[in-house]
Chains A and B, each alone.
Chain A
């Protein structure tokens, strides 16, 4: 299923995208999702403002964008931690139910790993207790077996050596492995990782990323990685979804999006990655606008270096999530008038 190589299978590519069975293979689907918060001073912050997203089984999807672009809110909504104002989150084709019992069952399958392992671990709980918390909450059998298997999978070997240690006795990388083991103990299908390596040292970063790749390979895990680090996406992700101010502005296979970015925002993000010497830096001014006051037209136009007339009042079409799973034609699309010019009559 990965990595996708163009031209390796020809019969599937001839199918129209809508004919390709998609539902069965997407673990998570998000349709026209809107999440709003009451803003300061009475306004409504539209944190997620019309997002379609599909996460196929066994894929690593990177959700990238600046702080405040809604990527964490989208991830939290996928986990059922926020209730959408409209739109649905589907797990294996079934819409998420927001009753406590249904959510508890759902979260056994979809686990979260956060940025700062020191903050995620209770300093007074031993490693064993931290990893066993999930299986206990869900009243699962064979607790000790699950804990040692999860710890071994997360690279804490031999597990018994770590059982009675406390977080302060571990290095940053080991702590993050404990957090990952805690998620794995429930044998989830999906792990949502919010900036899993950004608080770790450079040397440890590669090791944790290699672990995520290995888990996908060995356990068939599906991963949604929320990050602002395009290098991370290049290292591990099959697909990239770029968000800006509550909407997906570009998505596609990692190689294509990063080697041939279409949207001016993606181009800017890519140009400021310190190692990209070849390209001239496009440093955008300011920060994303307040989500209570989303600009008219294309929401990126006030900061866009290539904005032209239609961008001020015509909103680009929202990108669809019809990802032709199993076909080679994973679309690379961008919500930008430069890429898809708006129809003439609406100008």
Chain B
């Protein structure tokens, strides 16, 4: 069963300069124990998409579509129910975790806070017992409950942030760039930990990253976002081995395969910037930057079409090739 299901989700910010459609019709489902990666450049709507799950978007935003957390649409929830779903059913590990902890409170106290607020019949002693268990689950010694954030390293703080998100045993964990500020070795440790948690607790997990290679080795499925839409999705391995959409191909080229002679002394990137969501180009929103664009791309707005078993891409060129073979 899908623990998280998004159906045709739209989110528009209403600003003084007019409406800014940041998310434009996204479907995404995450099953129990499944890890789904969402990749794309800054400004493509990844974090905004995550914000719809717990209704964390600002007041000037309007949403459409459905976001079902364990079958219940969060957009229809009363405020009290929404508060219970936050932490209890779904939790977020935010970007920039290194600055998200309160510097003048002990780690244990910060971890106990959501437990005391959200769990029925929780006492100080019970909460502290759970805090110690949580710390051990993220491979930190329980004595760190007495530490202050500045006494921990970046990787340790990120583990605390993960423990915090797990404190009320949610069914869905949303991780926004969980390893971006971390070192390679610590990144590998944290991703191993997250994978283990999803498997052991049968949680649904969404990991957002701009680094596609991080997702490829750690996710079951991947969705690539561009200008507020999913432009390609599929099984992580397959998508990584045979990227179809030119945007996915460009993202993959940015992180070279070590040992591959083609990328030696030849870093590859993608010229230009993603479009401002309030002023999208006509046709396919990627066409101004696309190395394979044809005239038709300037006028025809493409949508996600199946291109194989459990694979889909939003690109005319890919469809043409699929039809030709």
Contact = CB atoms under 8 A, between A and B. Distances in A.
Interface of A: 3, 66-68, 171-173, 201-210, 213, 228-231, 234-236, 254-255, 258-259, 268-270, 272-277, 281, 283-285, 287
A203 B291 CA distance: 13
A234 B265 CA distance: 7
A343 to B, nearest CB: 32
Contacts of B270: 203, 206-207
A210 B269 contact: yes
B258 A234 contact: yes
Contacts of A254: 264
Contacts of B124: none
Nearest to A213: B265
16 contacts: A66-B183, A66-B185, A67-B186, A172-B42, A203-B254, A203-B269, A206-B268, A207-B267, A208-B269, A259-B259, A268-B185, A272-B188, A274-B213, A283-B188, A283-B189, A283-B192
B211 interface: yes
B255 A231 contact: yes
B256 A235 contact: yes
A272 B184 contact: yes
Contact of B258 (A68, A203, A209, A270): A270
In the A-B complex, the 3 residue pairs with the smallest Cβ-Cβ separation, listed nearest first, are A206-B269, A209-B267, A203-B270
Contacts of B155: 287
Contacts of B266: 235
Given A228-B184, A235-B265, A202 B258 contact: no
A269 B216 contact: no
A202 B254 contact: yes
Contacts of A171: 273
Nearest to A268: B185
B183 A67 contact: yes
Q: Which of A269, A284, A287 has most B Cβ within 10 Å?
A: A287
A207 B271 contact: yes
A137 to B, nearest CB: 32
B210 A231 contact: no
A259 B254 CA distance: 20
A255 B273 CA distance: 32
Interface of B: 41-42, 153-155, 183-189, 192, 210-214, 216-218, 250-251, 253-259, 263-271, 273
A277 B217 contact: yes
A173 B251 CA distance: 15
Contact of A234 (B214, B251, B264, B268): B264
Contacts of B259: 234, 258-259
Contacts of A273: 184, 213, 258
B185 A234 contact: no
Contacts of A274: 211, 213-214, 216-218, 255
A4 to B, nearest CB: 12
Contacts of A228: 183-184
B216 A284 contact: no
A201 B192 contact: no
A107 B148 CA distance: 39
Nearest to B271: A207
A230 B211 CA distance: 14
A281 B214 CA distance: 13
Nearest to B139: A285
B256 A202 contact: no
Q: Which of B188, B189, B251, B258 has most A Cβ within 10 Å?
A: B258
Nearest to A60: B265
A202 B185 contact: no
Contacts of B256: 231, 234-235, 275
A186 B237 CA distance: 47
Contacts of A255: 264
Q: Which of A204, A236, A254 has most B Cβ within 10 Å?
A: A204
A67 B154 contact: yes
A254 B266 CA distance: 14
Contacts of A66: 183-186
A172 B270 CA distance: 14
Contact of A202 (B153, B184, B212, B257): B212
Given A172-B42, A274-B216, A206 B184 contact: no
Given A206-B253, A274-B216, A283-B189, A231 B258 contact: yes
Given A68-B153, A206-B253, A209-B269, 5 more contacts: A235-B267, A270-B258, A274-B217, A281-B188, A285-B189
A20 B253 CA distance: 39
B267 A213 contact: yes
A235 B263 contact: yes
Contact of B42 (A201, A207, A258, A275): A201
A235 B266 CA distance: 6
Contacts of A173: 273
Contact of B185 (A258, A259, A284): A284
A203 B224 CA distance: 14
Nearest to B209: A202
Q: Which of A201, A210, A254, A255 has most B Cβ within 10 Å?
A: A201
B263 A275 contact: no
Nearest to B270: A203
A283 B185 contact: yes
